[in-house]
Amino acid sequence: MTPHLPTLIERLAGRHVLVVGDVILDEYLDGDALRISPEAPVPVLRFSGQRAVLGGAANTAANVASLGGRATLVGMVGEDAAGAQVRRLCVEAGVEFLPIADGRGTTRKTRVISRQQQLLRIDYEDARPIDEACQRRLLEIVQQHVGDADIVVVSDYAKGLLTGATMTGVRRMAHEGGRVVVVDPRPGHAAFYPGCDYLTPNWKEALGLLGVEEADPTPDAVLAVGARLRARFGAGVLVTLGARGMALFPKGEAPPITTRAEAREVFDVSGAGDTVVAAFALAVAGGCDPADAVWLANRAAAVVVGKRGTAVVTPAELA
């Protein structure tokens, strides 16, 4: 049954989400590639424009704000032009940004696009784990702000901010204050997540978290993988399945809740997982029924994949 959307959106309004995670600046270079270079067998792009948007944990925070919530973001950027751009974009998006820095540059993903087709992606990153001084600073900031939040989201892109110590500290402080912790996970950090309240992996990440080889997301496989994840991490698990929809395995022994993907043309899946975790976390913070939270996250995903590049969703678009 489709929930009453206006009532659902009212429950999201003003909910405060503390987002902790890897901040990325997503850049797009646009143009036309109409010929092959005489110097090498590669296309020549005639440049026509560029743009930059918030990515990674910053995109999650931006989606929280665009959906009517209040977003506070804790992450790392450099003292460089890209870091200044992230700060400016956060102001424009209505996100309160509390940055830390350790001398490294801002993480960037630069995509080269010709007529809606991605030709190349260039990643600028230093994914070393942050040092102990930065870990202490991160946890000090979280401690100062977690009490004002309704829920905590950890957006882990494995770019160095999240370590075993920082993840343990964030989870402990959140739970001491009675806050739910929702994690957008990375398989390489599986050891960090036991004890969190929800994980939101896509199918590939779900398999990676279990160390399982590639498999098709058949209904039986989804049920088996979801049940194993829930048991291993002691958490509720929301598995996103692309065109097949989503499946939520609530914490405990409750039966799974599945929903089909809403039919529409898929333009770009970049950042869709950020939108899903933002919508789901807001719904949980607003006290929504689990089925309604999954429905909302699924609807938000259906909107954002129809947009170009990393993007956000608004309540009007949900309607």
In a domain, 154, yes or no: yes
Percent of the chain whose predicted confidence (pLDDT) is above 90:
78
CA–CA–CA angle 52, 304, 98 (5° rounding): 50
In a domain, 46, yes or no: no
CB contact at 8 A, 154 and 277? no
Cα atoms in the 13 Å half-sphere on the side-chain side of 191: 4
The tens digit of pLDDT for each residue in 93-107 reads: 999 999 999 999 999
Specify the pLDDT at position 269.
65
Within a 10 A sphere around the Cβ of 168, how many other Cβ atoms?
Answer: 13
In a domain, 307, yes or no: yes
Residue 222: CATH number of its domain? 3.40.1190.20
Active-site residue numbers? 274
Residue 147's closest CA among 301, 50, 18?
18
The tens digit of pLDDT for each residue in 218-265 reads: 999 999 999 999 999 999 999 999 888 899 999 888 899 988 876 565
Higher pLDDT, 273 or 93: 93
Query: 90: domain range?
Result: 5-24+55-106+126-312
In a domain, 42, yes or no: no
In a domain, 43, yes or no: no
Specify the pLDDT at position 48.
92
Residue labelled with tokens 């000090």? 140
Q: Residue 104 is encoded by which pair of tokens? A: 């490294």
Specify the pLDDT at position 149.
98
Taking the chain, what is the end-to-end CA distance rounded to the nearest angstrom? 16
CB contact at 8 A, 150 and 181? no
Q: How many domains does the chain have?
A: 1
The tens digit of pLDDT for each residue in 31-68 reads: 999 899 999 999 999 999 999 999 999 999 999 999 99
In a domain, 115, yes or no: no
The tens digit of pLDDT for each residue in 8-31 reads: 888 999 999 999 999 999 999 999
In a domain, 29, yes or no: no
Rounded Cα distance between 242 and 272, Å, is 10
In a domain, 47, yes or no: no
